[in-house]
Amino acid sequence: MKSLFITNALLISLFFSFNASSQQVFETPRGWQFGLNFGYYNPSKYTANYFNGSDKNVNNAKFVMSNFYWYQEIFQKLIANDTILVSGLPSNMRYKISLMPGLYGQLTLNNQYAVCFEFNYMRLKTQDAITFEVDPKPYGTLPDLRMFTIRGVEERVYIDLGIKRSFRVSGRTELFAIGGLNLNNTKVLKSSFFVKGPNDLQEKEYSMINNYINGQYVPNSNSQTVNIYQGGIGFGMYVNGGATFHFGDILLEPGINAHWLNINLEGYRKFKPGAGVYIRFLFNNLLGGD
């Protein structure tokens, strides 16, 4: 994301210098233009704690540890003698910055205004550590604490609909600002923790999503599962700004965007911000503008 910020800044400075001497005025034709977005997005960390395994979450570590068979399996993996328990869960999980490809379209009304829409896709990942205590020791002695990975993965689609206002700077260059409404859809793909014992070659995944028809996992019982959809539709608003550089029928638009929205994850539906950077390639006359 930092590299794209730097790229955008360099593009803007270089093209302003280039366009200062340009006398030819390039106009965006009235009608439809379509383009492709390539960017990075940094969502609010607020919803990342949906995946931290706490008891208040619909997906929690207690679901796994309360299952007799999974408990015994983890007990044996950790070569315990008495008891194992979850002694620590993360409380400040964050998403990794995500790639954000997308599609863009605008209906240009005149030299200043356009109605625009875009569809952007993100696959968000968050990861932290879950702590197990093995064979709790008497008070005053050092506990046997072991840390393992806890991870969440979700998909998001942002649909933005707004009004674009352009400001002519030179013959080839414009600045623009966009404001409008956001509709988003979220789907949880993974909410798990992973355990690796001293004798294991690889870690074992334990999903905290309860998709068992009878409510629990039973080995060698052909336990039936169903597809659980966690997530749904959220909404909000967004602003967007950048510069437009004209190259005939191809336009280059580096910019930044910011959202204020709610994500439909149970227990985490407050409105929170998110922001990103992008470069857009926009094409004139695909449907025959004026």
Contacts of 180 (CB under 8 A, 6+ apart): 116, 160, 161, 162, 163, 237, 238
Is 114 inside any structural domain? yes
Note the pLDDT of residue 38: 97
In a structure prediction context, what are the per-residue pLDDT tens digits for the chain, which is 290 residues long?
555 555 555 555 555 555 555 556 666 778 899 999 999 999 999 999 999 999 999 999 999 999 999 999 999 999 998 899 999 999 999 999 999 999 999 999 998 999 999 999 999 999 999 999 998 777 656 788 999 999 999 999 999 999 999 998 887 899 999 999 999 999 999 999 999 999 999 999 999 999 987 778 888 777 778 889 999 999 999 999 999 998 888 999 999 999 999 999 999 999 999 999 999 999 986 665 44
CATH of the domain at 116: 2.40.160.20
Note the pLDDT of residue 44: 97
Tokens read off for 138: 């008497």
Is 188 inside any structural domain? yes
Q: Which residues pair with 180 in a beta bridge?
A: 162, 238
Note the pLDDT of residue 48: 97
Tokens read off for 239: 């602003």
Is 95 inside any structural domain? yes
Q: Which residue type occupies 23?
A: Q
Note the pLDDT of residue 244: 93
Burial of 203 (0-12, 13-18, 19+ CB in 10 A): middle
Please state, in angstroms and rounded to a whole number, the distance separating the CA atoms of residues 270 and 35.
Answer: 32
Is 153 inside any structural domain? yes
Please state, in angstroms and rounded to a whole number, the distance separating the CA atoms of residues 216 and 210.
Answer: 7
* 36 phi-psi bin (left φ>0, alpha ψ -120 to 50, beta other): beta
Is 288 inside any structural domain? no
Decide: 155 and 140 in contact? Cβ < 8 Å: no
Tokens read off for 246: 């004209």
Is 289 inside any structural domain? no
Is 74 inside any structural domain? yes
Could you give the number of structural domains in the chain? 1
According to DSSP, residue 139 is labeled T
Note the pLDDT of residue 2: 58
Backbone φ, ψ for residue 129 (5° rounding): -130, 140
- Residue-range definition of the domain harbouring residue 150: 2-283
Note the pLDDT of residue 154: 98
Is 290 inside any structural domain? no
Note the pLDDT of residue 219: 84
Closest CA to 84 of 150, 151, 143: 143
Please state, in angstroms and rounded to a whole number, the distance separating the CA atoms of residues 243 and 168.
Answer: 10
> Could you tell me whether strands 98-99 and 31-42 are parallel, antiparallel, or unpaired per DSSP bridges?
antiparallel
Note the pLDDT of residue 136: 75
Burial of 16 (0-12, 13-18, 19+ CB in 10 A): middle
